[in-house]
Amino acid sequence: MKHELPVPAHVVDLISELQEAGYESYIVGGAIRDLLLGRQPKDFDISTSATPEEVRAVFGRRSARIIGKRFRLVHVTWCGELFEVSTFRQAPAHSGANAKKDLPENLILSDNSFGTAEEDAWRRDFTVNALFFDPVKNELIDFTGQGVEDIRNRVVRAIGNPGLRFEEDPVRMLRALKLIGQYDFTMDSATENALFSHLELIRVASPSRLALELEKILASSYGDKHFQAFHDYGLLPYFLPELNRAWDTPHGDYALNLLNERNCRVREGLYRNSVSLAMATLALPFVEKECGAQPGNLWKPGPDSTAAIRGVLDTLFKPQTMMNRMTLSAERVLILQPLFGDAQSKEKLVEAKSYPHSRELLLIRTAVAEEDTAEIERQWPPASARRRSGSKRERSDNGGDGPKRRRRGRRSGRGHEKNRGE
């Protein structure tokens, strides 16, 4: 059907480039869902009839890099932005090979059989995520026939047999609940029943994908809402058991309030979206407790504080394994926190690499305590002039940095070794 959607010109150009090379190409998934909901998409995923090698030939090796094993796709840099371009897939066959590896028989281990646009729509997870849009012809295609209506009614509905879809990929349960938490969707009853009876399966999902999901949740500005939905539907004990245990305790409530405030501030554009800051924010009440302070009160730094902070971070996010870089950075944000109460540390504190994140954590705490943030802003400058003019490293765990903005080769050779990870 004909439809107008506000797609940025450079994204239309990218699609045109593929179409002019002879390949059917669309914007798919979350971007179309978000545009139809009147929201700004986080990114634009592209689906095309071109194989990964053909996509690379269209954009050239310097701009197009083939990545992924379980799901091969191409990262295309276009107008300075990174796009994921994937080839139309058909539903993977259940080969029976899983039995040999002692894995659930329907679990998908690889999803690389190419197909048509329509087949590609049917192998997607939910009807609201399966809409295709051609921004050159302004054509919206709803292959499942249910996506537009489900967006209108704000319903999460699995495509096909919901139980089978969750068995194929238990991460889809997390994805369904993220939609519930973030967009206030409801779940269609068949999907909901299947989810309730498959919750435990989340344990067989690939640990690296679950860790990536957690990173995406913390990188979004809706993490508290996602966790709330996980809790409401009983998934949280399997995903973050420690957070689940603390739910409905003063520390758990405080942690969620802090994360909510952090997210509001990100959405209002007051601070950037950092995964390590989100980790530190959520962990703060548990660190206070571990270090012997009351909720909302800072601990006195001592020789054991660093080990206590590390212990809290490791336990809170278990069994998910966050990247060490993120954990180290969160740890440093927390280590600095009590120093804000010590006027003598000010000069050193302002120069520290984690100062901006730690200052933001102080502002979050202050806002949650319903105290005056303006006073803190006056007292503590956003960053020292030296740091402001300084490196890009400070942004290196910038949360919007999920997979899309991560660059290779960043890790070494950039000098300032002594500041690493601070």
Per CB under 6 A, 45 contacts ligand ATP = yes
* Contacted by 129, from Mg ion, ligand ATP, none: CB < 5 to 8 Å by type: ligand ATP
Place of tokens 């932005």: 81
For residue 130, the partner it binds in Mg ion, ligand ATP, none, with Cβ less than 5 to 8 A by kind, is: ligand ATP
Question: Scanning the structure block, which residue is given the tokens 């400070």?
Answer: 394
30 or 399: CB nearest Mg ion: 30
Q: How many beta carbons lie within 10 A of that of residue 235, not counting itself?
A: 24
Q: Is 123 exposed, middle or buried (0-12, 13-18, 19+ CB in 10 A)?
A: buried
Give me the 76-115 binding string for ligand ATP, x by CB under 6 A, dash otherwise. Answer: ----------------------------------------
CB-closest chain residue to ligand ATP: 30
Q: Which of 3, 42, 65, 251 binds ligand ATP (CB under 6 A)?
A: 42
The number of residues that bind Mg ion (CB under 5 A) is: 2
169 binds, among ligand ATP, Mg ion, none (CB under 5 to 8 A by kind): ligand ATP
For ligand ATP, the binding residue among 75, 124, 265, 289 (CB under 6 A) is 124
b/e per residue 12-49 (b: at least 16 CB within 10 A): eebbeebbeeebebbbbbbbbbbbbeeeebebbbbbbb
Are 159 and 124 in contact, with CB atoms under 8 Å apart? yes
- Beta-bridged to residue 134, according to DSSP, are 139
Name the residue among 70, 92, 78, 17 with its Cα closest to residue 44. 78
- With CB under 5 A as the contact rule, the residue among 27, 30, 255, 261 that binds Mg ion is 30
Question: Smallest distance from the beta carbon of 43 to Mg ion, in angstroms?
Answer: 5
Least distance in Å: CB of 41 to ligand ATP? Answer: 7
CA neighbor of 78 nearest in space, from 49, 45, 54, 30 = 45
Least distance to ligand ATP, CB of residue 250, Å: 32
What is the nearest approach in angstroms of ligand ATP to the Cβ of residue 346?
40
CA atoms within 13 A on the CB side of 421: 13
Nearer to ligand ATP by Cβ, of 356 and 402: the residue is 402
Of 350, 353, 337, 341, the C-alpha closest to 415 is 353
Site size toward ligand ATP, by CB under 6 A: 11
CB of 48 to ligand ATP, least distance (A): 14
From candidates 26, 29, 49, 192, binder to ligand ATP by CB under 6 A: 29
Q: Which of 18, 46, 125, 151 binds ligand ATP (CB under 6 A)?
A: 125
Structure-token pair, residue 61: 């090796």
DSSP 218-277: HHSS-HHHHHHHHHHTT-HHHH-HHHHHHTTSHHHHHHHHHHHHHHHHHHTTSS--BHHH
User: Between 209 and 310, whose beta carbon lies closer to ligand ATP?
Assistant: 209
Q: Which of 7, 18, 25, 30 binds ligand ATP (CB under 6 A)?
A: 30
Contacts to Mg ion from residues 38-97, by CB under 5 A? 45
Number of H helices and number of E strands within the chain?
A: 20, 9
Indicate the residue among 124 and 353 with the shorter CB distance to ligand ATP.
124
Burial of 360 (0-12, 13-18, 19+ CB in 10 A): buried
- Residues between 158 and 177 that touch ligand ATP (CB under 6 A): 169, 171-172
Of the residues 74, 130, 195, 210, which one makes contact with ligand ATP according to CB under 6 A: 130
Q: Give the N- to C-terminal CA distance of the chain in Å, as an integer.
A: 52
Pick the stretch among 27-35, 70-78, 146-154, 160-168 that binds Mg ion (CB under 5 A): 27-35
Residue 265 as a binder of ligand ATP (CB under 6 A): the answer is: no
Please list the residues that pair with 158 across neighbouring strands: 126
- Indicate the residue among 159 and 350 with the shorter CB distance to ligand ATP: 159
What Å distances lie between residue 73 and 55, 107, 114, 172, 238, CA to CA? Answer: 9, 20, 11, 19, 30
Q: Can you give the binding site for Mg ion, defined by CB under 5 A?
A: 30, 45
Q: Can you give the binding site for ligand ATP, defined by CB under 6 A?
A: 29-30, 42, 45, 124-125, 129-130, 169, 171-172
